[in-house]
Amino acid sequence: MRHSKEEILQILKQLDERVASEFESETLDFKEWISSSRQLYKTLVEYAVCFANQKGGTLVFGVKDRTKGREKAITGCVGYNIEEMKLRIYEATDPKILVDIEELYIEELDVTLLLIHIPKGVGIHTATDGTAKIRIGNECKPLTGSMRTRKMIEAGFIDYSSEILENLSISELDGIEIEKLRNLIHAKNPEHTLLRLRNKEFLKQTGIVKNGHPTIAGILLVGKKDVIQEIIPFHEVIYLHMNNDIDYDLRKDYKECIIHIVEDLERTIESFNKLVIVKDGLFHYEIKDFPREVYREAILNALLHRDYTRGEAVFVKHYIHRMEISNPGGFIGGITPENILRQDSKPRNRHLAEIMRKTGLIEKAGMGVKRMFYLQMISGKEPPIYETDGHTVRVILKDGTINEPFVKFVKEADREGRSLGLDELLILFALRRKREITLKDASKILQLDEMRSREILNKMVSDNLLEKSGIRKGVVYRLSGKVYQKLGESVAYIREKGIDELRYEELVLEYVKRYGEISNKIVRELLGVDIYKASRILRKLVRDGKLQRKGEKRNASYMLPG
């Protein structure tokens, strides 16, 4: 994370009352200038490696971090060579770290600070002598062996789940859980080729066993409980049925294999999962508070993507109107909450993911999250929310309340052979919460670039799902009258259209003042009206003396009088 000059200046303004060390963090540090070249370059390399091994950050040289008072604390840097500093860091790190260095001149003190911006690294960075540190809180700590292993796992260089346990035999696997796995495969696909295999070959072909011995993934999936606790001691799932944000009335701690956990969790959740019947004429639709396929996918993803080297559990917190499922270990491979819909799955435990895909426990790469979003929305519920602090990932499924008109609208579209896709549902759901959205809003909602988002919006306009008004950067999109009617909100639509029409003349006049003139075509684009409505608006403005007309028929343009 890079800190700007403006951010640093804001901190420096506070040094009469506070010391710089109070502002230091995982991504920011202050250092007094070091006059000894040897010590300077040693410190630069140490901090470059330290920040690169975490989130990156900014090292500010020329500030005493424990001195109060601006004049005393801000001492500046002298006799430096920026290109030499960058070169020394580059040559003394492995993999190479290329930093950016900015000068920050403090005019009232006549001193210059150096802002050394260090990028987040890939994998593990060390000094060329092999030493390495990592930023923990506001300190650089030694990068220990277990930390290095975790960093390699997070970077995708090590797949912990693929490790073959050569000291274990097939007898350490639970025969009952293996049979349950076969039954799950049969329920999804009775003709699956894996079901034709004898047990030994089945375990080999799925990847549960390699070279005659179980893998970590195999033990996690169908291993005996005592073996799991010995080999993978941090594997645990904790279920809490919450009365409110601080109290729960049921707790279950699981340390068994994944097949057992998922089965028992489903049974527990379903005992609280109320069913609602949505009636639409002759059609009746059964919808659960929390769709089974959605929370099941979320739980499997948490088990699949968790960091098994960390002593923390997967949590499933079941509230009345939401469910929160969290796992230790942040996103990897550049995935964030802002792009998760459009990224291929990058599981931390690739071999476990491969077994789950082969057996049909999870969707194909990149499809599971999309399916969760889709199923939530067609059930009349808000799409899932993903959150992360870099160390934990949480998905929030909400809520138990069903938007019945929306469910009927979606089901009717299905019956009529014009099923709504994920992109359409995302936009429609967003417009249920707010009256209008811009292209920029849509791009964020869809997690797509603006060009692709515009194509989707325009297609929805042509399908009479949306209405468009405005021009250039002022374009906005709203639910169409047809959709409002289907959702039983015709009054809201008429009210909003009435408010819009009061502003039509104002918008036309504003456009003419800015661009000099306007035509019928531009009015149609600006207001989202047809040719006849545009003509009536222009004629009224001419009658009222607010515009004057130039030209005839299709070539007519309108400008301010004078």
b/e map of 191-209 (b: 16 or more CB within 10 Å)? eeebeeeeeeebbeebbbb
Higher pLDDT residue, 261 or 285?
Answer: 261
d(CA 59, CA 101): 9
Mean pLDDT throughout 233-242?
Answer: 96
pLDDT at 494: 41
CA 543 to chain centre: 54
Q: Calculate the alpha carbon distances from 245 to 62, 271, 557 in Å.
A: 46, 20, 62
Report the C-alpha gap between 387 and 322 in whole angstroms: 14
Which pTM value belongs to this model? 0.72
Of 138 and 485, the structure prediction assigns the larger pLDDT to 138
Query: What is the predicted pLDDT for the residue at 248?
Result: 95
Please name the residues in contact with 382: beta carbons below 8 A apart, sequence gap of 6 or more: 376, 398, 399, 429
What average pLDDT score do residues 7-21 get?
A: 95
Give residue 493's pLDDT.
44
Q: Per-residue pLDDT averaged across 411-425, rounded?
A: 90
Q: Would you put residue 479 in left (φ > 0), alpha (ψ -120 to 50) or beta? A: beta
pLDDT tens track for 152-203: 776 667 788 999 999 999 999 999 999 999 999 999 899 999 999 999 999 9
Q: Which residue ranges does the chain devote to CATH 3.30.950.30? A: 5-143
pLDDT tens digits for range 292-340? 999 999 999 999 999 998 889 999 999 989 999 999 988 887 789 999 9
CATH of domain 491-559: 1.10.10.10
Sort strands 314-318 and 283-288 into parallel, antiparallel or unpaired.
Answer: unpaired
**420-488 under CATH 1.10.3720.10, yes or no:** no
% of the chain residues with pLDDT over 90: 62
Check if the beta carbon of residue 303 is closer than 8 Å to that of residue 327.
yes
CATH of domain 5-143: 3.30.950.30
Cα 391 from Cα 404, distance rounded (Å): 37
Cα distance between residue 437 and residue 450, in whole Å: 13
- Top pLDDT among 84 and 436 is at 84
Residues of the chain with CATH 1.10.10.10: 420-488, 491-559
